[in-house]
Amino acid sequence: MTDLIIHNIGRLFTPDPDSFGKMNVTENCSIVIKNGLIDQIIPSDLEINASKLEKFDVLDAKGMSVLPGFVDSHAHPVFAALRNGEFEMRNAGKSYLEIAEAGGGIKNSVRKLRAMSEDELYAISVRRVREFIKFGTTTLEAKSGYGLTCEDELKMLRVIKRLNETLEIDLIPTFLGAHDIPEEYKNDREGYISLLINEMIPKVAAEKLAVACDIFIEKNYYTVDEGRLILAAAKEHGLDVKIHADQLSRTGASMLAAELGALSSDHLEYISEEDIDAMIEKGTVFNLMPGASFFLGMTDHPPVRKIIAKGGICALSTDFNPGSCYCYSLPFIMTISAIYLHMSAEELVWAATAGGARALGLNDRGMIAKGKKADLLVVKCGELSEIPYSMGMNLVRKVIKDGKVL
Ligand code: NIG
Ligand code: FE
């Protein structure tokens, strides 16, 4: 592996590990990268000995800013077909739940994914993941959840594994067999839950196809009690747990996330004060994804100012999926979050880097410090607030993953 020096950095921004939302800044510096890891941050005017330089590739940041690569900790990038027709139906007045009740929504994606071959699914997913990279994502969580049979869930997870092996960025696989109750089990939910617990989770864990297990707890989907059973089984098989929680109504799912020591509780539009306190006490990450509420035309948002004031740690993710958020770009999600969640640029970048890493249980990335992965972005901005301000634009000029310029 060749080593790399990034020099002529105007400003280097890195999350303060001890303080949510605080970004530390170093001006006029260079980063020395060895074996894919950050080795040193040195002032620009310090002579780099020429003989040493020969062993390094050199990247000129041209006075731009450098930040950690984005860690998108909640996404559904593997699916068969777009659902733009449902988007049109929503804009004509139907709700997400109404469309789902009429056979659309997740069930629509399930039918199409089951009919698609593994190779085809891989080929369309590769194209999508490359789009994420352009917008600065260097670690991407990827969920199953559109198969809902043992074979189709494994098919999705094998596609995620292959994406991870063939693409430059890291994909972190999550099993989401409890995304919905499949059509063929609609009169036998216990039967499907038993399949999840006794067959699917053990198999996924034994084949090491996922590191975590997720569930959609919501009216018409799974209850808190079912979630407790399913996630307890996942934990017994060594998987981390997380929950799609309190997205369309308050269900108590975030309380369950705290009870189970989940990595994160995700969405949180209808979270209560006691849920917030329980999550903070257990160190559960508040995973925010306002792209979904924006795309669904919802006007309720998580009480983020309250969460931060109480000391909660937030992550920010796209929730990229064909139904409720067809958006690859964390910078665009930052724009929405700034406006609707009233978050500062420093909080947003912290949440999309160190926060994302925390939500995935990874402590080797998400900041620029000695020994961390050299996952870095060269961004054409002087101040962080230019990122959320530049609505729909892409200020990312270079993406570096494990010390390699992509
Ligand atoms: O995170 N909430 C459930 N799951 C996804 C939506 C999935 C879909 O509509 O396909 C979400 O919003
Ligand atoms: Fe989701």
Amino acid at 185: Y
- How confident is the model at residue 399, as a pLDDT? 98
Tell me which ligand sits closest to the C-alpha of residue 96: 1
For residues 283 and 257, give the distance between their C-alpha atoms in angstroms, rounded to a whole number: 10
Domain boundaries, the chain: 4-69+367-405, 70-359
Is 328 in a helix, a strand, or coil? coil
User: What does DSSP assign to residue 97?
Assistant: H
User: So what's the pLDDT on residue 55?
Assistant: 82
CATH fold of 70-359: TIM Barrel (3.20.20)
Report the nearest-CA residue for atom 1 of ligand 1.
319
| Ligand with minimal distance to 324 CA | 1
Query: Average per-residue pLDDT in the chain?
Result: 96
Question: How many whole angstroms from 172 Cα to the centroid of ligand 2?
Answer: 14
DSSP labels, 263-324: SEEEE-TT--HHHHHHHHHHT-EEEE-HHHHHHTT------HHHHHHTT--EEE----BTTT
Provide the pLDDT for residue 44.
81
Index of the ligand 1 atom closest to the CA of residue 296 = 12
- CA-wise closest residue to 156 among 215, 104, 211, 80: 80
- Residue nearest atom 8 of ligand 1, based on CA coordinates: 323
User: Which pair of tokens denotes residue 104?
Assistant: 């659309």
Nearest to 83 by CA among 102, 65, 64, 70: 102
Q: CA-to-CA distance for 31 and 38, rounded, in angstroms?
A: 7
CB atoms within 10 A of CB 257: 31
pTM of this structure: 0.97
Residues within a 6 A CB radius of ligand 1: 105-106, 109, 216, 244, 247, 292, 319, 321-324
CA distance 200 to 192: 10
pLDDT of the residue at 52:
66
Distance 324 CA to ligand 1 centre (A): 6
For residues 315 and 287, is the Cβ–Cβ distance under 8 A? Answer: yes
Per DSSP, 236 falls in state H
Instruction: Look at residue 154 and give its three-state secondary structure.
Output: helix
Look at the domain 4-69+367-405 and name its fold: Urease, subunit C; domain 1 (2.30.40)
Rounded Cα gap, residues 204 and 210, in angstroms: 6
Got the DSSP string for 105-152? THHHHHHHHHTS-HHHHHHHHHHHHHHHHHTTEEEEEEE--S--SHHH
Give the span between the Cα atoms of 65 and 397, in whole angstroms: 10
Ligand 1 center–CA 363 separation, angstroms: 27
Tens digits of residue pLDDT in 27-36:
999 999 999 9
Residue type, 299: T
Q: How long a stretch of residues is the chain?
A: 406
The rounded distance, in Å, linking the Cα atoms of 4 and 235 is 40
Low-confidence ranges of the chain (pLDDT < 70): 1, 45-53
What is each CA distance from 395 to 192, 282, 388, in whole angstroms? Answer: 46, 36, 10
